[in-house]
């Protein structure tokens, strides 16, 4: 992208960087036949890396004085476990939910961390390798800046919530809750039917709203962060093209450094928020209204 990118306008540069490597052209606003290959590959590789690192930490753990690596992982485990205990009071459920929450936190952090790489680092490599293999010259390396990734994660949390609603309350108990919460019911058959319909609609709206907001929150923050890094990268481009490039270069370095330091907090906080919301929603699935 270095050679081609110098001929692009700022708008074209940003638009190029916002296009995914896909299996086909999207034909409608919602097109489930389109697969963002870059998001799938990057997230899968990072997921495998996270699982390997956590497995390695468990394999090498000792009862004595822990090393730095073991101590760091133990701190993460204790943090997630304490949050899970505060939200989910079923000890049997925590055996699955707590490790899952730990994996989600570390996995999302790693996907967010891809935003810390230089904007043109991997795309410039793909600019040479991709077309040579017959693929388009598009590549996005931040999976959480892809709405399909974040909504996929939030839908997975929704499916787990439905599973625990049925497991903990039973199919009959959960069905009863769907038509009696949050407004209760009535002994009058007509009012009971009316309240049942309203309660059911409110429950469905709640499930949809929680799922959409869960995924959109992570996507929105990471997409905005990605755009800011692109704008900062453009300052570096102007530094090499303009006569006053020195000022642009200074602005590029200062803005890049400040935003990178701030973004370390953002990517960690967003991973933690997503994990905590997942725990809260799963905790609600254990509680009866």
Q: Is 59 a catalytic residue?
A: no
Q: Is 23 a catalytic residue?
A: no
Q: Is 213 a catalytic residue?
A: yes
Of the CA atoms within 13 Å of residue 71, those in its CB half-sphere come to 5
User: Does residue 36 contact residue 148 with C-beta atoms inside 8 Å?
Assistant: yes
- Burial class, 244, CB count within 10 angstroms (exposed 0-12 / middle 13-18 / buried 19+): exposed
User: Does residue 288 contact residue 176 with C-beta atoms inside 8 Å?
Assistant: no
Q: How far is CA 54 from CA 73, 94, 99, 232, in A?
A: 8, 18, 10, 34
- Burial class, 170, CB count within 10 angstroms (exposed 0-12 / middle 13-18 / buried 19+): exposed
User: Residue 36, SS3?
Assistant: strand
User: Does residue 116 contact residue 225 with C-beta atoms inside 8 Å?
Assistant: no
**Catalytic annotation, pick one of 82, 188, 213, 242:** 213
User: Residue 52, SS3?
Assistant: helix
User: Residue 227, SS3?
Assistant: helix
Q: For residue 51, what are its two tokens?
A: 């699982």
**Catalytic annotation, pick one of 61, 90, 156, 217:** 217
Residues known to be catalytic:
213, 217, 221
């Amino acid at each position: 992208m270095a050679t081609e990118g110098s001929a692009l306008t700022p708008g074209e540069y940003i638009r190029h960087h916002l296009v995914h490597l896909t299996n086909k052209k999207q034909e409608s606003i919602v097109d489930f036949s389109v697969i963002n290959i870059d998001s799938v590959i990057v997230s899968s590789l990072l997921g495998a890396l996270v699982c390997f690192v956590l497995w390695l930490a468990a394999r090498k753990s000792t009862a004595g004085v822990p090393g730095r690596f073991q101590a760091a992982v133990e701190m993460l485990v204790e943090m997630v476990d304490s949050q899970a205990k505060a939200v989910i009071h079923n000890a049997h459920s925590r055996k699955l939910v707590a490790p899952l929450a730990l994996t989600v936190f570390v996995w999302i952090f790693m996907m967010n961390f891809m935003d810390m790489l230089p904007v043109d680092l991997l795309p410039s490599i793909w600019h040479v390798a991709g077309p040579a293999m017959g693929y388009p010259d598009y590549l996005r390396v931040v999976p959480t800046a892809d709405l399909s990734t974040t909504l996929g994660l939030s839908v997975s949390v929704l499916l787990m919530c439905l599973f625990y609603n049925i497991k903990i309350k039973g199919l009959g108990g959960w069905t009863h809750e769907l038509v009696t919460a949050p407004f209760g019911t009535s002994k009058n058959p007509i009012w009971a039917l009316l309240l049942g319909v309203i309660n059911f609609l409110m429950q469905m709206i709640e499930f949809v709203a929680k799922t959409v907001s869960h995924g959109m929150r992570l996507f929105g923050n990471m997409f905005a962060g990605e755009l800011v890094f692109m704008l900062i990268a453009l300052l570096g481009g102007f530094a090499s093209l303009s006569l006053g490039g020195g000022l642009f270069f200074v602005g590029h370095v200062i803005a890049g450094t400040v935003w990178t330091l701030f973004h370390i907090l953002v990517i960690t906080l967003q991973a933690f928020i997503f994990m905590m919301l997942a725990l809260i929603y799963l905790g609600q699935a254990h509680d009866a209204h």
